[in-house]
Chains A and B, each alone.
Chain A
């Protein structure tokens, strides 16, 4: 399984042609206390860069984009009951949605962990 990152602070875990998407620890730290998350429903088709989810902190609403094109398998229902999972475990239990990847070639434009850490350290 490989993990990739976007400049918009999403992470994507790839396992064969399925993937899990969430926001990074850096992103949740910037947002602060998360009070609401809206995730996409299964079956929704997303192009790379589409608005896929909404995350709201006490102060602000932010869009979460799909790192690659694909079809949503499921959104993380647990975030409806406990949006603070995104704060407590952003890169684990606080995942946003899973999707079937349409074009694995799109992963090549994403960053690996080392590159992302370097990117964040310069922000």
Chain B
């Protein structure tokens, strides 16, 4: 028996995050991920996935980069690097955005929030040092970039996340999706936003590293909450139709190809001034050559990243970028980039994996409806 798709360990010894011992003490199976030892699962991916959909799960996402940017002219300087309306971002508002290369390719997908002292940015773990280098090289000297590597980042996700967290940090229930604020837990400050990457309601919580264990103990003592590994985080985000950087997004893809047009704010589309604006606008008008789509895969066998998408004649028309078994759907699903002619929901395509053919249908995403708590809802 042999694994052929599990990520290979990287050459350098992975680093340790603040909750490392906490995960091990709870039976977390640790694997190298994004340069760190991270828990891939505790009791099992399937059970953990379903628990998050019905209750609440605590994810350690401290491998991600937390950056605090401040200084005179920050909004304009950031707008030169990302397509978001930074100037229009009110205090405590959060936006999904993209760090773009000069040609409009995606260097990373990011979350930005305006805190009273500046812009708080969360970037992906695997590329955080590249992002920091890019920001330091590109931003004017007046801008201060603080890498908050003394902070842990935890995601509490699921329909009962609010019930558990409001007992520890009263007031969090007043947040709506994509807003944040400062809260207090037993004298420890928490930066909390109502957001996440599972499609469920939930929160992301930034806390000083030396208080992270105590907080993780307290929140998992709540009856709704169990610790959840990165395995279930991946299957949840796939069902939610959310792209994963390094898999579904990379410097070869543009926001239009990736179907992330919502990340291009109206003012910025009209005014321009972000990297790749001309190319991206042309792609918007003419339609991209390839587009990210969801696939419902027939049968029970998962079709995974790297499988080719072919047409009826067997000609290559695309590639699977994420795929697996969807616990809440009860069937295999995937994300792929396919030629524009095949991108409409309902299109039938064939996938080839290890010499075997699988039939699939292009499907609107998300595969499982989002349950965000929005303004006025």
Where the two chains meet, the residues of A that have a C-beta atom closer than 8 Å to any C-beta of B are 8-10, 23, 27, 32-33, 35-36, 38, 54-65, 83
Contact = CB atoms under 8 A, between A and B. Distances in A.
B25 interface: no
A55 B324 CA distance: 13
B2 A58 contact: no
B46 interface: yes
Interface stretch (B37-45, B54-62, B256-264): B37-45
Nearest to B356: A38
Nearest to B47: A33
B300 A32 contact: no
Interface stretch (B3-11, B220-228, B334-342): B3-11
A60 B300 contact: no
B2 A63 contact: yes
Interface of B: 1-6, 40-41, 44-47, 49, 231, 234-235, 300-302, 304, 324-325, 327, 332, 354
B85 to A, nearest CB: 38
A58 B45 contact: yes
A32 B3 CA distance: 12
Given A32-B41, A33-B46, A56 B302 contact: yes
B1 A27 contact: yes
Given A36-B300, A36-B301, A62 B1 contact: yes
A62 to B, nearest CB: 5
A61 to B, nearest CB: 5
Contact of B327 (A9, A55, A58): A58
Given A33-B46, A35-B302, A36-B301, A60 B325 contact: no
Contacts of A56: 301-302, 325
B2 A59 contact: no
B235 to A, nearest CB: 6
B231 A58 contact: yes
B301 A60 contact: no
Contacts of B4: 60-63
A99 B4 CA distance: 25
A36 B49 CA distance: 18
A65 B1 contact: yes
B2 A33 contact: no
A62 B40 CA distance: 17
Among A27, A61, A65, the one with the most B-chain Cβ atoms within 10 Å of its Cβ is A61
Contacts of A36: 300-302, 325, 332
B1 A38 contact: no
Nearest to A64: B1
B231 A10 contact: no
A79 B152 CA distance: 42
A58 B1 contact: no
B301 A58 contact: no
A60 B353 CA distance: 13
A59 B324 contact: yes
A64 B324 CA distance: 19
Contacts of B325: 35-36, 56, 58
A27 B3 CA distance: 11
Contacts of B304: 61
B136 to A, nearest CB: 36
21 contacts: A10-B1, A33-B44, A35-B300, A35-B325, A36-B300, A36-B325, A56-B301, A56-B302, A57-B45, A58-B49, A59-B6, A59-B45, A59-B231, A60-B3, A61-B4, A61-B5, A61-B302, A62-B2, A63-B4, A64-B1, A65-B1
B359 to A, nearest CB: 15
Contact of A32 (B2, B5, B45): B45
A57 B29 CA distance: 15
Given A35-B300, A62-B4, 11 more contacts: A8-B1, A32-B41, A32-B45, A33-B44, A58-B49, A59-B5, A60-B3, A60-B5, A61-B302, A62-B2, A63-B1
A33 B48 CA distance: 11
Contacts of A38: 301
Contacts of A63: 1-2, 4
A89 to B, nearest CB: 16
Contacts of B301: 36, 38, 56
A64 B49 CA distance: 27
